[in-house]
Structures are given as C-alpha cells and as structure tokens.
Amino acid sequence: MTDLAELYRDLHRHPELAFAETRTAAVAARELRAAGFAVAENVGGTGVVGALRSGDGPTVLLRADMDALPMAERTGLPYASAVDGVMHACGHDMHVTCLIGAAARLAERRDWSGTVLAVFQPAEEVGGGAHAMIDDGLFDRFGTPDVVLGQHVAPIPAGVVGLRAGPSFAAADTLKITLHGRGGHGSRPEVAVDPVVLAAATVMRLQTIVSRETAGGDTAVVTVGAIRAGTVANIIPDTAELHVSVRTYEARVRERVLSAIERVVRAEAQASGADRDPEIVLETSFPTVVNDADAVERTRPAFDGVAAVVDPGPVTGSEDVGVFATAAGAPLVYWLLGGADPAAFAGAGTFDELREVVMTLPANHSPLFAPVIDPTIDLGVSCLTNTARAWLRQD
C-alpha cells in the first residue's frame, strides 16, 4: 500500500483552490486505479469517482472533499504549503488521504458484496462541488447509493469520533453586499456619502440580528468576514463591499435572518443618504447536514474498537455532503474525525473539560490548523473502511 503519511504530506504541500484541484484529482485517480477501481475523472469539473463492484449488494458512497482555502499557512511545518496564499486549513487533504487508504483496504479484502463508490469532490468550500457532480450525471453514470458516508477532521482528540443523529452541521448562506455611496475628497465629506462609514454602521447593526432578533432557543451565526473599500486615505470611495456568512439549522430561522439582513442593509443605506439602493447577492447556499437516525444507529457499532464516540452537539460549521444524500434519496451518516494530538487533552476527564481544551486549539480555517498525522490517518481509514463494511453485504 502507498505510504499514506507521505501522501498526506505531499497533498498538504500542494493545496489547490475550488474547481482547480487538478493535481489532487490526478493523485486520487492514480491511487484508485492502483487499487483496482474503475475510475472516471473530470466529473463535475475536477471530481473523481472510483467504482469497485464485487457481486450483488448495496451501493455505498464514501465521500472526500479536495479543495483548499485562499489563505497563507503559518504552521511552520516542514511540509507546509508551497503555494503562496493557499493552504489546506480545513483538513481536506486528510479527507483525501483517508479515503484513498480506505479504498485500498476494501479492495484488498473483498469479503463483502456490493459496490463501493469513492467520490472525491471538488469545491466544497464554495458550496458548488456536490451539485456540479450530480448535474454531471453522477448517479446516472455510476449508480444511486443506498447510503452516503463521510467524515470531517476536527480539533478533537485523535481516537474520538463526533457523531449525532438529526441536524449535525448548519446550513450556510454567503452574501455579497455592495453599498453605494458618493465618492469625493477626504477633506470634504459633507459633499459625499461615505460608504466606509455606511459599511461600519451596517456591520455593527447586523450583529443585533442574533443578539436581539433571534430567540434564545434558536441558533444563528452572522459573520462579516470581509470588508473592501477605498484605495488611499484622502479619497472617499464610491462603494464598499461586505461579504457575510450566515449559519442556521432551521428553515424558519434562516428565512428570518436573511430577511433581517436585507432590512438592515437597506435601512442603513437610506439613513446614510445613499443615492442608490444596495445590491445583495446570494453567492452560495447549502443546506443543513441531517444525519438519518436509523442509519446512525446501524453505523455506530462500526466504530467499536476504533474510536470513542461522543455527541458533539450541532456544529455551526457547514458542509455540502448532504446534497449527495438528498439527491439520491439515501440516508446520510457524517461524523467528526478527531485530529488533535491526544497529549493535549491529558487530564481532561469529562466532556466539558475536553471541550475547554478544544477551545484553546487552532481550529479549521485557522492558518495554524494542522491535524497530527499519527494516529489520525490510520483511524480515519479504519472509520471509513468499517462503516462501509457495515452497509455492504458480508460474504
């Protein structure tokens, strides 16, 4: 079998952004062919699908996402990103490595009947990869799965799996908001409409949607992740741009939050005397990840002897893996894979104490995020292999 630790280091050194994962896709295709899978490339852009059939039985879809993030790495690791401004800060390189390893194990020991679909998905970070693969005929070409399985590495101890039934990851909406002012000289703000001040007022007001308009029993997150305006100190620009991330679990909460954002943005523009209405564009949107309760219970024993299973509660991060399950009409089981050094949790005897340690560690999307290679890879491979076997027909 391929040295998975070295493969992971190689993938980490060579991150690729959404829909540009050509090198990563080639690695996945090469490894799948070596394991005996029938392989199709360029599915939904840069996606890769490997199919391994062994008699009659269920079809199990194992999914890994491939894309990295547009940010500079600061881990200082010897295998840190060699690409300026691009980093595997969310662990998708770990997901690819583990699925390659699981595919090889399932191919080596075929004491099962059915079909394994190893799906390497592009563009999870921008919310378009799963839809692109489905629109490219994923199920028509390779068969409709009976279950969708997958995992996401997280800063919980290696050896721990986070699994829960029901809503597990939040729905995500990304908005691009353009605020129109009236540019002018920095010395004469009275003849301009300053979109920078408008943007600042809007950002602060948006925070009240969660703190003052969302019920205590509901969950919502509104984050302004980017503000872009102006070029130099003495020019009032014409426009300012906000990029806003929204996370919710329930449709009614989502609708209320999105409506409130539009109301706040338009009201602040009017209050500032803007000549033009703001533009609000929904750039990406993907639904809540909902784990099927019966499927979770069927899958849970597969982790016995591999990892301790805990309920992490609803995760406010988001994922488009549920798109595969919804389109297929199949149950979904998606879990958190511990990737943090267990030594960091020494002395944490309760779940609350474990959570307190997690809060101190670099998390996904941090420039310092780096799962430990050992034992994370082996555990991730075992989790995918064992859960697939739990759904395939055993010979």
The pLDDT of residue 358: 93
pLDDT tens for 360-370 read 999 999 999 99
Identify whether residues 247 and 322 lie together within a single domain.
no
Residues 35 and 156 in one domain: yes
12 annotated as ligand-binding: no
Number of domains in the chain: 2
Measured CA to CA, the distance from residue 327 to residue 325 in angstroms comes to 6
125 is in an annotated binding site: yes
What 3-state class would DSSP assign to 391? helix
Question: Sorting pLDDT into bands at 50, 70 and 90, what band is 215?
Answer: very high
Final residue in a domain of this structure, among 257, 285, 313: 285
Query: Sorting pLDDT into bands at 50, 70 and 90, what band is 351?
Result: confident
Residue 308 exposure: Cα atoms within 13 Å on the Cβ side: 9
* pLDDT tens figures, 127-140: 899 999 999 999 99
pLDDT at residue 394 in the model: 84
**Gap between the Cα atoms of 267 and 120, Å rounded:** 44
Q: Are residues 63 and 155 in the same domain?
A: yes
- Do residues 150 and 183 share a domain? no
Residues 239 and 192 in one domain: yes
User: Which residue among 266, 285, 304 closes a domain?
Assistant: 285
In this predicted structure, the answer to whether residue 326 has a pLDDT above a threshold of 90 is yes
Q: Please tell me whether residues 312 and 164 are part of one structural domain.
A: yes
> Can you give the CATH number for the domain in which 178 is found?
3.30.70.360
Average pLDDT over residues 76-91: 98
The SS3 assignment for 157 reads strand
Q: Quick check: 395 pLDDT over 80? A: no
pLDDT tens-digit series, residues 19-75: 999 999 999 999 999 999 999 999 999 999 999 999 999 999 999 999 999 999 999
Say whether pLDDT at 262 is over 90. yes
Residue 30 and residue 162 share a domain: yes
185 is in an annotated binding site: no
Q: What is the mean pLDDT of residues 290-298?
A: 98
Same domain, residue pair 136 and 211: no
State the Cα angle at 15 between 248 and 19, rounded to 5°.
65
Contact 88, 98 (CB under 8 A): no
Query: Is 92 marked as binding a ligand?
Result: yes
Residues 112 and 146 in one domain: yes
179 & 153 share domain: no
CATH number, domain of 76, equals 3.40.630.10
Determine the pLDDT at residue 205: 98
175 and 271 part of one domain: yes
Kindly tell me if the per-residue pLDDT of 1 is higher than 80. Answer: no
The CA angle 5-68-139, to the nearest 5 degrees, is: 90
The domain in which residue 250 lies consists of: 171-285
Measuring CA to CA, which residue among 265, 257, 264, 225 is closest to residue 244? 225
Six token digits for residue 354:
């474990």
Prediction pTM value: 0.92
Alpha helix (H) ranges present in the chain? 4-13, 22-35, 92-108, 129-135, 138-142, 195-213, 251-271, 293-299, 322-328, 351-358, 376-391
Residues 327 and 376 in one domain: yes
Query: Residue 283 has what pLDDT?
Result: 94
Phi/psi of residue 382, nearest 5 degrees: -65, -40
Question: How many angstroms separate the CA atoms of 288 and 172, rounded?
Answer: 8
pLDDT tier for residue 348 given thresholds of 50, 70 and 90: confident
Q: What percent of the chain has pLDDT over 70?
A: 100
pLDDT band (50, 70, 90) for residue 87? very high
